[in-house]
Amino acid sequence: MGTAVTFRLESDLKKPIADWLSTDGFDVHFECEILGRRADLVGHRAGCVAAVEAKLRDWREAFRQALAYQLAADRAWVAMPLDAAARAYRQRWRFEAEAVGLLAVDDSSRIRVLVAAQRSPRLLDFARSGLLAEGLCGGPNGIVFSKRQTDLEAF
């Protein structure tokens, strides 16, 4: 059994989320610009771009940001510590209605999918193509975490 983790900063959530995305075959980038906003994590693999906004408490703000990410990402998620995600889950109908996923990061850094993200109803092909054409997060200087790496390159 792993050591319990207390999340003090949003950045504490990034590694568990990156691990989860990477396990699902995504190459993960941190702090990526999407149409003037910065997504905490963006993952891409053949045929899919996923954006994740991590917050410690304010699910409403994270939800608004995830809605904006849907313009360029196939799937968008809000990720929060388990206790905050449980409070957000009370409004799951909002997440489901807008196709935004909700992830909970527990004290052992495991990810729980509370609401599955669906294909974005707002996806603009030109925005997605532009994000991919930029090489995600500024190209070769972007911070990348993939299933082929064992540690994050920056933190």
Residue 110 has pLDDT above 80, yes or no: yes
3-state secondary structure of 126: helix
pLDDT of residue 14: 94
Is residue 153 within 8 Å of 139, Cβ to Cβ? Answer: no
Distance CA 43, CA 34 (A): 12
Question: What angle do the packed helices 59-69 and 82-89 form, to 10 degrees?
Answer: 80
pTM for the full predicted model: 0.84
Rounded average pLDDT over 8-16: 89
Rounded average pLDDT over 38-60: 94
Query: What residue segments make up the domains of the chain, in order of their start?
Result: 10-145
> Does the domain made of 10-145 have the CATH classification 3.40.1350?
yes
